[in-house]
Structures are given as C-alpha cells and as structure tokens.
Structure 1
C-alpha cells in the first residue's frame, strides 16, 4: 500500500482520532505517520524515550544532531512543548531516527562506552554557557572537576556561580558530562536530573 502524502501542517492527532488507545493499530498508524512525515521532510525534531538506570530519558534530535536529553523529573511533555515553541512545532516520535543515540547511551550505561560520538545540535546553549559546556568533555571518564576549576578553564575564574548555572541547565546531560562537575568539597552539587541521578552516574563511572 502506498502511503498518502502528509504535509507539514498535518497533525498526527487528526489521523488517530477514533481509535482505541490500546489498539495495536494505533501504534502501527503512528509508525506509518512518522515514516511518511520523515520521507516528505515534515519532521524538524524527532524524539524517543529510553529506559535507563537514572529513569526514563527523553532524547530529541534534529538533522544537525542530538538536541536535547531530558530526565523524567523535568516532565517530558513540558520539554516537548518548550521545543515546539523555541525550535519547531514539527515534532514527531520517531525512534528509528535515534537508534545511534539509543545504542551509545545503552553502551554507556553498561560501562562499555567512555565518550560519545554523536553529532550534537548545540543551538539551545549560547554565550558563556556554551563555552562551559564545550569544555566539559575534557573532564575524563571517571574523573571530576570542581566548579572553580571549570570556571578557570573556561577563561572566567570568578564565574563559579555562572558555571554552576551552565551545568544545571545543560540541555544535553549525559552526552555532555556536566555530572562530572562537583563542589570544591567533593559533594555532588545540583543536577538537572536530581542529585541522586548525578551520584548514580559518578558511581557508575567510578566502578567501570
């Protein structure tokens, strides 16, 4: 069967109206919609969810690369709504488009990957925050650095508080390892996914 064209204004909800949400046809129809939308260039942001040791993760990507990684504590619907208003409303759940990200994250959580090779879309980071986040991959796997050390490495030694804010609002946690930045006394400090998630990641790397 040939799929019908779907233009950029098509709402997937319109296609799904009238189907029982528990019906397997719903999943099949959504998959067909997603693939067709991709085929006609009607998807600007693709997303999928992944189970992980730090809870259910939302991973979003554009044609440029991974755009956002969000923890369940952030509210996935809230994150998607914000992306719809700041990036594009053409957002579709398209798991296959994020297979590489899913594979690398799974390898990381199994202790088999120490650095990510994914292309990144960094448009959600600007100014000093972007400077800080671009430095973070230099902190080695299993190591930590203080906020003060990161401020110094970023060229603004007095901007310790700004480094904390940059890390706490990192749109690409895990992939850009802000969990490796800790307080000078060695305590973990704030984290977008919660302090328990941050400690889990530190412990995971320390034990690998």
Structure 2
C-alpha cells in the first residue's frame, strides 16, 4: 500500500429479484439495511449495475438473506402488511433527501400527504419541490411510500413515469380489490 493511503473497508451488497404485481423487484441490502428496492425500470442487471456504481460496492446474489424483504413485500401486496419493518440504509443521500424520505415513511397506510406537508415535516417548509425531487429519485420504492405523496391540489402526479402504478398502490391501500395489474 502506498504511504499515506487509507484502507477503506468495502462491504458487499446482497441482492435478489422477485416478481410482484407491479413488476420484477430488485432488492439490495447492505449490512445496515435495505439500500434499494426498484421495480421494472429496465433489466434487473442494469438496475443493479447503477446501484453498485452509486454505492461503489460489489454485489452478490443472496436470496436467503433477502427472504425477509420478499416476505414483507408479498404480505404488502396481499393486503396483510401496512408498515414495513425493514431497516433502511440511506447512506450517501443528501441530508434533506434523507429527512424527506424519513418523513414520507411516516405517512400512514392508506393516507396521502402533499409535497408541502412533507417539506414541513422534514424541517424545510419552503422545500416542496425538493420533496418532489427526493420522491422521484428515491432508491427505495414502496417501503418508503413515495406513492402516498400527492400534489397540493390532491392530484396524484407522476410515479417514475408510471402513474397507473401509483393509482394501483393507493387503491390497494384503500381496500379496493382487483386494482393491481
């Protein structure tokens, strides 16, 4: 090792894929918690490559280690789970993004909140647009329920270019049957 260099301990990310009613989910964890949960935005391999580049950590498939994540997702889509118990690893996110996502995680099942309301809860009342950016760029869908964040006029807005998925998730949480694709 060259003089004055520091050794950085690199963890290995673990991942799995699972089929859900809204597409194939890619779940990625670190030793601290869930790093990413992405749905059908391309091939799972390309999504994994993006996450590995962002986190700068290698990844290994580990279906067994991620079984609890898959079970909680299955329970959610079956209407049996209202809150996820999965630890999150939000390392690398900007402080306000982290605060906004934590505020979003507290929106009750079946309810919605406006971008401005989330901004207030996150400690930045004038940052409604930044909340929108945090929602659009969240690495963790569904477990962080960004689908519960709506525009000030109550309209749904986008959901990663898939507003029909946002409608379906909100309908699922409202107890409307047969809404998932």
Find the aligned partners of 1:117 and 1:144 in 2 and give their Cα distance. 20
Checking the alignment, whether the CA contact within 8 Å between 2:11 and 2:31 is kept in structure 1 is no
For the pair 1:65 / 2:37, whether they are aligned, the reply is no
For the pair 1:77 / 2:42, whether they are aligned, the reply is no
Cα RMSD for the two superposed structures: 1.8
* Correspondence for 1:99: 67
Counterpart selection for 1:130 from 95, 98, 101: 98
Checking the alignment, whether the CA contact within 8 Å between 1:45 and 1:88 is kept in structure 2 is no
* Correspondence for 2:167: 199
* Correspondence for 1:35: none
> Following TM superposition, by how much is the alpha carbon of 1:193 offset from its aligned partner in structure 2, in angstroms?
6.4
Checking the alignment, whether the CA contact within 8 Å between 1:179 and 1:202 is kept in structure 2 is yes
- The verdict on how the C-alpha distance between 1:173 and 1:155 changes in structure 2, with shifts beyond 3 A counting, is same
Instruction: Show CA shifts across 1:165-200 (max 9, x none).
Output: 011111111111111000122221122362111111
* Correspondence for 2:130: 162
> Following TM superposition, by how much is the alpha carbon of 1:83 offset from its aligned partner in structure 2, in angstroms?
2.3
- TM-score after normalising by structure 1: 0.75
- Stretches of structure 2 that go unaligned for 5 or more consecutive residues are 1-9, 177-181
- Structure 1 SS opposite 2:26: strand
Find the aligned partners of 1:86 and 1:138 in 2 and give their Cα distance. 26
Moved over 4 A (4+): none
* Correspondence for 2:158: 190
- Stretches of structure 1 that go unaligned for 5 or more consecutive residues are 1-41
Query: Per residue, is there more helix in 1 or in 2?
Result: 1
> Following TM superposition, by how much is the alpha carbon of 1:151 offset from its aligned partner in structure 2, in angstroms?
1.3
> Following TM superposition, by how much is the alpha carbon of 1:154 offset from its aligned partner in structure 2, in angstroms?
1.6
* Correspondence for 1:8: none
Checking the alignment, whether the CA contact within 8 Å between 2:18 and 2:26 is kept in structure 1 is yes
Find the aligned partners of 1:53 and 1:104 in 2 and give their Cα distance. 14
Find the aligned partners of 1:108 and 1:141 in 2 and give their Cα distance. 10
